[in-house]
Copies of this chain bind each other. A is one copy, B any other.
Amino acid sequence: MAETPHQNADRAPARILMGPGPSNIHPRVYLALSRPVVGHMDPLYFQAMDETQRRLRTLFGTRNELTLALPTTGMGAMEASLVNLIEPGDDVLVGKHGVFSGRMTGIAERCGAKVRELDVEWGRAVDPAQLEAELRRHPVKLVALVHAETSTGVVQDRLPELAKLCHAHGALLLVDTVASLGGVPFHADEWEIDAVYTGSQKCLGVPPGIAPLTFGPRAEEKLKNRKTPVQSWFFDLTLVRKYWNEERVYHHTGPINMTWALLEGLRLIDEEGLEARWARHTHAAKALHAGLEAMGLELFVKHPGLRCPTVTTVNVPAGADDAKTRKVLLEQHGLEIGGGLGPLKGKTWRVGLMGEGAQGNHVLLFLSALGAILQAQGVKVKAGAGVEAAGAALNGR
C-alpha cells in the first residue's frame, strides 16, 4: 500500500475537530492516557475510580451514590440506562425530535417496552404542555429525552418543568447528555432528573470509549423493585456498582488508561470551573452563529434559545456541494465538520464547539475556510462579513 504523509493513520495530523464529536484533546489528557497500566484490582486504580466518581458527581450536579463510568461509548450508556430502567411490558415515552431519540425507541423496544413517541418537529424542543397532555392520556413508567440532539442542534431548554411533570404523573425521567454535559448548564439534583448518561468525547475533552452515568433515588427504587433481571449482565448496574463501591467485587476489567484520561479531563474541568466552561461554550457559539448569519447562511434551528452551543446545525446553501465541501475542509484544512444525519442528510452541516474545541480560533478558522470553499464553488456568500461578525462577537462588540 502506498503511503504518503497525512494519508496514513500512523501519521494522522492533529485535526481540528469541529464535528459533533469527538472533540480535540488537551495535552494533559494525552499524557494521562499513556500512563502505565496497573491491575484493575490495584489499590491505585481504586483510588482513581474514587476520585473519578467524586468529580463526576460535581459534573452531573448530583450527590447520587450510583455515579460511575462504564467501559463503553455514549450509545452503550444509553443502552445501559434503558435496560436497567425498563422491564418487559413497561410503558415508555420517548420525546422524538432527532436521530438519537429515535435510537432510544429502538433500544427500549428491544427491552420489551411498549414505546410511544412524542412527536416533536425537528428543530424544536419538547413543550411541557404537549408532554403533560400525552402523560394524561397515556401514563408511562419512564420518559426518555435527549438534552442536546446532535442531529438537529437543539437543546431541550425546559428540563426542570418536564421533570416535574414526569414525577407528577408517576414517571421517571432519563436524560441523554452525551452532547451537552460539560458544555451546557446541567444540574441533575436541582432539576430532579432521575437518570443521566453521557459520553467522554464531546464536551469532556476525553477520547471516546468511556461513558459516565448517574442514577438518582427514584431510579434506585426502580432497580430495587425490579421483578425481572436486567437483560444485560454487562450493563447490570447492580453488579457494576459493586466494583465501584467499597465492596470492590470484580465485574469487568476496568478500562485503566481510559480512566486515567477521564480523570484528567475531569480535573481540567474543575480547574476551569463549570460556570466558566459553560460561558466559554456559549461565547464561541454566539460568534459562530453571528458569523454564519452575516455570511448569509441559514441556521437550521430558528429559535435562538433552542440552539445548543455545542452543536450548530446550518443549512447547506443552494448550489453548494455538501460532500465536497466537507472533503476539502478535511483534506486541505485538516478541519472536520459533520454532515446531516437521517432526514437531514445532505441538507445540513453540523458544526461542533465542544470541550477544548469551544474556542474563538476554531470559529474564525472554520468561517474563513468555509467562505473560501463556498465562493470557489460559485455559491454567493459574504465570507468577509461572516468573519468580521464573528470577530466582533468574540471581542464583545
Q: Spell out A's residues near B (CB within 8 Å).
A: 7-10, 12-15, 17, 19, 21-22, 24-25, 30-31, 33-45, 47-48, 51, 71-76, 78-79, 103, 106-107, 110-111, 199, 201, 207-210, 229-234, 250-258, 260-261, 263, 330, 336, 338, 341
A30 in complex: contacting residue of B34, B47, B106, CB < 8 Å: B34
Q: What separation, in Å, do the CA atoms of A201 and B15 have in the docked complex?
A: 28
Q: Which residues of B contact A261 (CB under 8 A)?
A: 257
Q: Are B15 and A103 in contact (CB under 8 A)?
A: no
Nearest to A108 among chain B residues (CB) is: B233
Copies of the protein in its oligomer:
2
Nearest 5 CB-CB pairings of A with B: A209-B255, A9-B48, A34-B34, A30-B34, A207-B257
Show 9 A/B contacts (Cβ-Cβ < 8 Å), sorted by A: A12-B38, A13-B36, A15-B36, A22-B38, A30-B34, A73-B252, A74-B252, A75-B252, A257-B261
Q: Which residues of B contact A257 (CB under 8 A)?
A: 33, 207-209, 261
Q: Are B9 and A44 in contact (CB under 8 A)?
A: yes
Q: Are B40 and A76 in contact (CB under 8 A)?
A: no
Q: Are B36 and A255 in contact (CB under 8 A)?
A: no
Q: Which residues of B contact A25 (CB under 8 A)?
A: 36-37
Q: What separation, in Å, do the CA atoms of A285 and B12 have in the docked complex?
A: 39
Q: What separation, in Å, do the CA atoms of A380 and B261 have in the docked complex?
A: 45
A229 in complex: contacting residue of B12, B110, B250, CB < 8 Å: B110
Q: Which residues of B contact A17 (CB under 8 A)?
A: 37-39
